[in-house]
Structure 1
């Protein structure tokens, strides 16, 4: 393998790239790429997705120079190679079906080949001896095309600085299958659609089932993906291992848009992704518990009836290959995946949570937001805002507020609680064990298939177009509750309840995205249109005395941005008393606690992380107003780099400096570091800035605050050692170009 900068840094970070001797096929594929020496995280322009045919038309290949997936077409279609071209390693060790379906209680495979002599690894020379099973769905034809948008997106350009494409550019490959000669199910067509994207080792997969018969059929269950991957080589892992742990060590990150659970994390809110032991071969443990078999399926069901002439579509599976064991690089890859698949996450408006919804008080908040440069107002929980109030007078009042906000250049919307709100017995989730209300993750919750939910979503869909409001904070979105009711109109019973409720929630969020409605949701619906979730914090922390809050806040940001971009996570600043703590915990009166207030503004906006500033005003004196303006202006002047990915320098511990570095090789300002001094006394430190992900290779122009820029020659690891002086209980920033 050719020595290049990407391999050098990846090897230094622990990927093992330099020691790999790639197969001839993988090496040739990499050589064919236009810019194979570039690190895709710095310059992805040379890695274009393409479809090629080989072996006399027997095989079709999806490749973009970063990954390569090969499909054999006869005697049936099957994935026969899945290669990481960045490391030269194979991901696949065994051929499995492309999908499985249980239709009318018959378990059937889609594609796949049989007769592999061992399951530990796979060799191409075995293919000619492998066979198709007559019961399986049989490959009919291929369809080649381009990627397509999963749903409409109405972007708001002023809230972001980078115009990302939608849909993400790339190619699609669709396999069409028909029932096998010995299949008990006839007149059913299956499509397996892949998308491979430009510039990232990421592909997507979805299946569709079309009922071409005269009678309805029931899809009892399905698996949209089955991958037998190589073992991780890490001991003491099992399928029962924490999903977050598995995600840190496996060579592939897998996510679906069937994500929910209220944990606000990709690994935790991922119920359709299951890693299992594989009993079909002898792994290192007699119990066959090494997690090396991926199955993507809903936990239960979906138990969906497909009418004659209708087509059903699964969730979408997304597979990202890693090229390193380094936590920062793996996190950067996941963050890049999210910006590609959900580019609306880059919209990062500065917003306030208005504590009171009375029109006069809201107008005061709108005026102050416009005056200091804030861009959004959310009528907070407990404010009196009621999106379910359908009276003509109330809707008129909300429309007038929206019109007033629009005149001031402010987006506006409000809060609604969904899960854990209780309700009438006939509308609540029913526990399958007791046949009584209960079993919800967050306590008594309405079923989204109930009559109440039908009215709720109908009200929401009419509220936003009528009033012109364009922000929605949906607290407690659907978290995956099952419902055993047989009386709710939105589902038939327990087995289809999760699937149907997820459809209702996801379709609404997708509708919001097409309407340009900004969505803050404490869950993981990003791939279905969500804009922002919690960065990760404990609400009771904001009842602690003020002096402790800034450092804890920076810890939350430091920890939350390993898998989230700054714009994906919100923080929370109660200007007025929140849970408790009294005057010692609150920022109000603002002018009396101005130093603390300014610290919070600097810490959050310097991280590119927006907070829910919750209160009834943003300033109470001219001096306070100028402090807010100062940091809002700082953020807006540096918005592009502050919204860029974070490189983690030193976690806050209160004992010495802490800091983060924003990096973006596509900007003129390649980096901006925020360095904080939690100590009471001034400190002088030499800070090592790791500048690899800025794209700079030899020298960097480095400037501390508004001082003169100096030229630094980078070390062999692309770092620069910068001396800084920071006042006690203060911060400084360093720009890099």
Structure 2
């Protein structure tokens, strides 16, 4: 019978067993044999399983009729044969109802193709190295404090028989090993820092659903136990004849995912990051005639000095008939139970909805307790239970229930919905990218620091740093006065804030002339500018182009009423926006509500055909916009999570209403935002705003006007935000009102610029501010001259004298350190064996002090 896309045998009263996959429009040979009381299953002449025979045999068997109503057969039967043999005379290589001559020819061709493939893989190529034995080395240096310059290589172990081979991606920090025989499978994935092995069982390299049928890409079957993997099992593993088979391996340099040039005080780094790309090409087998024109590419990238591997797939159609790509799984890993929490997996398919969960997030709130696929939820990364994971190394049923089955050790990277696109000769498909960071510890700070280093190297625009001034006026005189003050203070970015912000599709000549004049005036003073606009999320643009709610079939969205950016709206709006940028010279993209993830159930919109491709097509549109902005060398602050596609910054972690709290409240809350937000962000990835005037109110208790009369509070907030290294905007109608106010601003802005490289480096989380004792911001960077700086805050009304313990391991400093402070004094302190410093400090009430490496 057939069940869930599998051929099964129902052995009456003795259970069911599986032959293998059903393939649409494809003849298949199934055989059942019983010898010495043991049952065996055969698929196309190959043994694929065993079963328990019945005690007696009926004089017939049935197809499509079984004890269970859900078993059914859909198809045609060409021929059936029932045979008995002398137990010694049965030979599966001659006695099945198969065209053995044709089968031998096919087997001969497969062996020839495999030999040619392995010979091709062994040929020289970029980053490729032929070895007799794969290395078993452990990395002795800590990549978080020492540069790792090991080359990125594809090591190919020379084949002994010409029919099987092993190859390994290796950069000295991580290795990924593949075994090649009838097909290819990942058999090893190691963190070379602690020699931890991540793979417990072989899986396909990817899975794709074409025209509603799932197909595996690569992979080998027959592993007897899925809780561990033995090298001795490799030769017994077999390919699935209905899986795409490896046809070629090529190497090259990593691709530039989007245009980017170092700018706006960013780090100087290689872009794209140094490393190696490996492209594995897969083609359908002879048994997959329906897919003869389909080709799948599985891409890997490995980077120098990072324990990270990136992966994505491409689907090409070289035929005349388009095929529907319903779903994809770009990564399938059976992970060892002890390493589940030591691999960080995320993808560049990322936005507000996809990063939310059923409990809500800063932007999303769910009604009810059911999450639809289009609500995504916790991104493309899925940890789930593997159905085939029937190991003895598991808890009993009571423990499983109590522990909610802890063995969720199958990692899948997939789109929550779709892509549901049509693939043709003119429209190849490229998936999102999955990034896998192998971690060597359960320590929160260490894991977090590794994550932040990933962004620093693989999304370097996140290190761009500009001190901004924000104003809401459209008055030319007020704007130029504000720019003059910014210029005198050395500030670098002007933001025309809400409301009214700027309308980027307004091409009225007078409107264009105003902003061209202002942008030019700012540019002459070394300032780039842009303006706020609520662009997509929660902003409808008309019933013909707005998102259609999946449940009602009427205009409506999860996040307010949003326009669908896979409608014709994108042609009119974005073309006008690019023209606006060209004519005015604006250089920042200050959009509120970029594409947050709203699905659209419309079937008439220009650039998507229904619900299931709506998220994918809208995400692609937003990504294309961000890539073009980077090509134009613009700065991109948006409240979302497109960092792996070119975004520069998002909110550090605040609610808009908090802007209307008193300055005293904003002080401590601001430091808590920074403490919490920098666990997963570099300082420059999060913006904060110093409010000189109220945001939604004119209450004098909220702002700092008159500035000169609130100079102490102004300075306290300024120091706090500058010392965090965050992306700071000072918002008001003016920046200073007296020479004393100006002098204070100049002092701290110049201090920030002098120490910018360390202040925008990663924060080590010493203690969360609580208002009762000292708290601090400790920046570390072992790769620059100024390797550390700490800024200490006293939120209390009393002077505090004490020793502060500072963990300096991630500065790379050992034994002793010379410390300087605001008074330019220099003292030498000894570090303990953990590179911890006991720093004696004396901080006045509500005071601040900074200490750096001399």
When normalised by structure 1's length, the TM-score is: 0.91
1:331-346 aligned within 5 A: 331-346=448-463
Query: SS at the partner of 2:544?
Result: helix
For residue 277 of structure 1, the aligned residue among 385, 390, 396 is 385
Query: SS at the partner of 2:743?
Result: helix
Match of 1:168 in 2: 273
Q: What displacement does 1:350 show? A: 0.5
Deviations 1:713-732 (A, max 9, x none): 21111111111111111100
The answer to whether 1:38 aligns with 2:145 is no
**Contact persistence 2:820–2:851 (CA under 8 A):** yes
The answer to whether 1:52 aligns with 2:155 is yes
Match of 2:27 in 1: none
More deviation, 441-450/289-298: 289-298
1:531-542 aligned within 5 A: 531-542=648-659
Q: 1:485 to 1:710 in 2, by over 3 A?
A: same
**Contact persistence 1:441–1:479 (CA under 8 A):** no
Deviations 1:173-192 (A, max 9, x none): 11011111212322111110
Query: SS at the partner of 2:590?
Result: strand
The answer to whether 1:624 aligns with 2:741 is yes
Match of 2:853 in 1: 736
Q: What displacement does 1:47 show? A: 3.3
**Contact persistence 1:101–1:107 (CA under 8 A):** yes
Determine the C-alpha separation between the residues in 2 that align with 1:264 and 1:189.
31
For residue 699 of structure 1, the aligned residue among 804, 813, 816 is 816
Match of 2:546 in 1: 428
Match of 2:240 in 1: 133
For residue 220 of structure 2, the aligned residue among 107, 110, 113 is 113
Match of 1:10 in 2: none
Query: SS at the partner of 2:612?
Result: helix
Determine the C-alpha separation between the residues in 1 that align with 2:460 and 2:592.
22
Query: SS at the partner of 1:649?
Result: coil
**Contact persistence 2:649–2:727 (CA under 8 A):** no
RMSD, matched Cα: 2.0
**Contact persistence 1:264–1:534 (CA under 8 A):** no
For residue 776 of structure 2, the aligned residue among 655, 659, 666 is 659
The answer to whether 1:199 aligns with 2:305 is yes
Rg larger in structure: 2
1:200-599 aligned within 5 A: 200-232=306-338, 250-261=341-352, 270-282=378-390, 283-284=394-395, 285=400, 288=405, 290-417=407-534, 418-438=536-556, 440-580=557-697, 582-599=699-716
When normalised by structure 2's length, the TM-score is: 0.79
Q: What displacement does 1:520 show? A: 0.6
Q: 1:479 to 1:415 in 2, by over 3 A?
A: same
The answer to whether 1:683 aligns with 2:800 is yes
Determine the C-alpha separation between the residues in 1 that align with 2:137 and 2:593.
46
Deviations 1:231-253 (A, max 9, x none): 248xxxxxxxxxxxxxxx71100
Q: What displacement does 1:265 show? A: 8.8
More deviation, 122-131/699-708: 699-708
Determine the C-alpha separation between the residues in 2 that align with 1:132 and 1:686.
64
Q: 1:426 to 1:62 in 2, by over 3 A?
A: same
Determine the C-alpha separation between the residues in 1 that align with 2:417 and 2:788.
46
Match of 1:613 in 2: 730
Q: 1:270 to 1:361 in 2, by over 3 A?
A: farther
Q: What displacement does 1:60 show? A: 1.1
Determine the C-alpha separation between the residues in 2 that align with 1:307 and 1:670.
53
Match of 2:287 in 1: 182
Determine the C-alpha separation between the residues in 2 that align with 1:607 and 1:387.
32
Determine the C-alpha separation between the residues in 2 that align with 1:348 and 1:499.
31
The answer to whether 1:66 aligns with 2:173 is yes
Deviations 1:277-310 (A, max 9, x none): 2221144336756321111111111111122254
Match of 2:202 in 1: 95
Q: What displacement does 1:37 show? A: 2.1
Query: SS at the partner of 1:194?
Result: strand
Determine the C-alpha separation between the residues in 2 that align with 1:706 and 1:181.
78
Q: 1:215 to 1:317 in 2, by over 3 A?
A: same
Query: SS at the partner of 1:687?
Result: strand
Determine the C-alpha separation between the residues in 1 that align with 2:151 and 2:757.
26
Q: What displacement does 1:685 show? A: 1.3
Query: SS at the partner of 2:604?
Result: coil
Match of 2:20 in 1: none
Deviations 1:238-275 (A, max 9, x none): xxxxxxxxxxx711000111001169899978522111
Deviations 1:535-556 (A, max 9, x none): 1012222222222210111111
Query: Mind listing any 5+ residue stretches in structure 2 that lack a counterpart?
Result: 1-131, 362-376
Q: What displacement does 1:487 show? A: 1.5
**Contact persistence 2:185–2:220 (CA under 8 A):** yes
Q: 1:264 to 1:97 in 2, by over 3 A?
A: closer
Query: SS at the partner of 1:505?
Result: helix
Q: What displacement does 1:473 show? A: 1.0
Q: What displacement does 1:27 show? A: 11
More deviation, 482-491/288-297: 288-297
**Contact persistence 1:264–1:523 (CA under 8 A):** no
1:72-87 aligned within 5 A: 72-87=179-194
**Contact persistence 2:310–2:434 (CA under 8 A):** yes
Determine the C-alpha separation between the residues in 1 that align with 2:844 and 2:252.
58
Match of 2:80 in 1: none
Q: What displacement does 1:629 show? A: 1.0
Determine the C-alpha separation between the residues in 1 that align with 2:381 and 2:578.
31
Q: 1:428 to 1:232 in 2, by over 3 A?
A: farther
More deviation, 556-565/301-310: 301-310
Determine the C-alpha separation between the residues in 1 that align with 2:558 and 2:741.
42
Determine the C-alpha separation between the residues in 1 that align with 2:252 and 2:180.
18
Q: 1:263 to 1:130 in 2, by over 3 A?
A: closer
Higher relative contact order (CA 8 A, sep 6+): 1
Q: 1:453 to 1:601 in 2, by over 3 A?
A: same
Determine the C-alpha separation between the residues in 1 that align with 2:353 and 2:828.
47
Determine the C-alpha separation between the residues in 2 that align with 1:344 and 1:146.
20
Match of 1:239 in 2: none
More deviation, 549-558/698-707: 698-707
Determine the C-alpha separation between the residues in 2 that align with 1:382 and 1:45.
49
Query: Mind listing any 5+ residue stretches in structure 1 that lack a counterpart?
Result: 1-24, 234-248
**Contact persistence 1:29–1:65 (CA under 8 A):** no
Q: How many residues align?
A: 691
Q: 1:384 to 1:313 in 2, by over 3 A?
A: closer
